[in-house]
Structure formats: structure tokens, C-alpha cells
Amino acid sequence: MHHLTILGILAGLILFAAVSVVHPREASACSRATYLGPEDIVITTRSNDWLGSQHSNIWIYPKGLERDGNAGADSLQWTSKYGSVTVGGWDATTIDGMNEAGLVANVLYLTESDYGSPVPGKKALSLSAWGQYVLDNFATTKEAVEAMKKSPFYIVAPSTPDGQAGTAHLSISDPSGDSAIFEYLDGRMVIHHGRKFQVMTNSPTYDQQLALTAYWDNIGGTTMLPGTNRASDRFVRASFYVKAIPQTTDINEALASAFGVIRNVSVPLGISTPGQPNISSTQWRTVSDQKNKVYYFESPRSPYIFWIPLDELDFSAKAPVRTIRLTAGSVLLVDGKPFAGNAAGLGEVAKPFPFLKAEAK
């Protein structure tokens, strides 16, 4: 290898190390990547990493639900326009999901988040409801971006039930492959909008992630890729692989490739680093086939995958809310055994959980 190339790689590694020192306190290390295939195949993948269980369950919501942002007297209230399949945390927040229009929302941790101060005359929304608000109200990424630019609310961030700081950013994508990344930095919303924004992880902020990835693009993923569990390294690997995997019209092959990308940036069970909770084990993965509107779920503690075709669900306003209960390890058990297959007919009628309460200071 040419000595100038080696020097360039070393410089990049030093830059990545500096980023890791500046941002050592992520509580979660999630990743998200969107595959853009031929013949309108769009697949959004996501891993959810956390230090300990979030006691996640699957929630199936019809349209027509009356919602409360649960952020005090000035809470935003709305009625859901779209039904959705989601993954909740602690039965208090929506972490991930896809609505009946094929819009996908992924909430990931971001240490640098700063939601600013309360805005007089504007409604408040608990951070725990942010992802669900988008799924309830919008069919396309463009529609959501246009609404968010008008700042219809301010966000109040509660701590998580296990004591972590409430700091997150949001990615969305729709069946056209259009994506958007929403971050609150220094009290204002920053939006990255377009099909090219296929990948999101955690710290540093998105603009810095893009700059770091541009460096590795010059090296080329077949030459060398950063291999640690840090967010910057996962961002680079996911960015390379989601574009390198085969472009195919075979949906099964496309899904298999997408699963391969998100598994590549997952963290094996039992992995942790003292003093760095950002190096946390993957608790579950989701894969959303947005062309066919099928939501796949995988737990690393189970050898099986289950899926929910949205066209087999009743999202009408008269339909009940349902939940599919998982174990603390995010495994779906049926008759005491891990379940594989179509789970659209499973679950029990339940009341929707109230979002985690947030108080403006």
C-alpha cells in the first residue's frame, strides 16, 4: 500500500479517536440504514442497542386514537390519521414503527440533543411521543418535513425509566425512498432531507458523521473499514454496505441483504465497555419492507424472525388497540416456545399506554 495512503488512513483513525473521546457518554448505540432497490423496493433496517432491557413490546394502533403529548398543561393533542405497528419501550415511549402508508420512524439516542426552552404560546410534546406523533399524522417524508419546518410544538425531554438522559434524534423514510433526519441542536431543529440520507447512528451530530464518512469514501470500503462498535464506525460500515449489497428485484434477496447490513453493525450480547455505556448489546432489530408493507422483528436471543403484514391488520377507527407481549429479552413466545412466522393474528386487546410524562422547566 502506498505510504501516502497509509498516512491518510492513520490520520482518519486519529480523527475518529478524537470524536470518541469528545462523545463518550451515549447511553444507546442504535443504527439505521435504508436500502434503495430497483422497482420501488425500499427497506429500512434498524438495530436497538441498550444497556439493559427496555421491556419492549409490539403495539398495533388503529387510526382515530385521541393522543396526548403528556408534557404538562400545554400538551399537544391530536387524533391519529393513520394506523401503525410499533415497538415500544417500557410501555411508555414509541421507539420504532411503520404506519399503514409505509412511513417508517426510528428514534435513536443522540447525546448532543438540546431541545431549547419552552416557547410561550406553543404546545409541548414529550420526547417519548415524538416518533408516534409522526407515524400518526403523516404519509410521506415530504409531508412530515414541511410540517416540522413550521415548528408545531416544542419538545420536553424526560429521563428514561432506567435513569438515562432523554436525548434522541429521529429518522423517517417513506416508500419512495425519501428520508429525513431531525436533530435538535442548540435549541433549534436541524433537518437533513433527501434520498441520500440513508444511514443514521448516534454521536457525533449528523453533519459531522457525513464529514467523517466522506473521508472513508475516498479510501473505499473494499480497502479498509473501521471495525469498532462506536457510532462513527457503525455509520461508515452501514453507509458502505447498504450501497454495496446487490441491487435486486427479488424481495427475499433484498431483505436478506438488508438483514445482513443491520447485523453487521449490531453489538453482540454481553459486550460492554467500562465507563462507556454507548457500547451496549443489541436488544432487537427491525426490518421494514415499505413496498409490501411488512414489518419484521428479530431478537438476538431467538433463532427465529417473526413478521407482521400490515395489510392483514384492521386499522379502522373501530378496531381495538392490540399488543404482542415479548419477554424481557425481546423474544416472542407462543406456548412457551420462540415463535417464527406471521404474527398478524397474535396479540391481545389493550389500552394504549400514556407517553412518558415530561415537565417543562
State the DSSP code for 303.
Answer: S
DSSP code string of 342-358? E-TT--EE-PPPPPPP-
Say how many C-beta atoms besides its own lie within 10 A of residue 225's C-beta. Answer: 16
DSSP code string of 245-283? S---S-HHHHHHHHHHHHHHT---TT--BTTBTTS--EE
Q: 433527501: which residue's cell?
A: 194
CA 289 to chain centre: 15
Q: Is 236 left (phi over 0), alpha (psi -120 to 50) or beta?
A: alpha
Q: What are phi and psi of 106, to 5 degrees?
A: -130, 120
- Residue 130's closest CA among 101, 160, 96, 173? 96
Spatial separation of the C-alpha atoms in residues 301 and 296, rounded to whole Å: 15
CB 352 within 8 A of CB 65: yes
Residue in 19, 27, 30, 144 annotated catalytic = 30
30 is catalytic: yes
Which amino acid does the sequence have at 164? Answer: Q
Spatial separation of the C-alpha atoms in residues 35 and 189, rounded to whole Å: 26
Instruction: Output b/e per residue, 163-177; b: 16+ Cβ within 10 A.
Output: ebebbbbbbbbbbeb
Q: Which residues contact 49 (CB under 8 A, 6 or more apart)?
A: 28, 29, 30, 31, 266, 267, 280, 281, 282, 283
Q: What is the dihedral of CA 57, 63, 68, 69, to 10 degrees?
A: 70
DSSP H helices, the chain, are 3-22, 130-137, 141-149, 206-219, 231-244, 251-264
Q: What are phi and psi of 305, to 5 degrees?
A: -115, 140
- Which residues are designated catalytic? 30
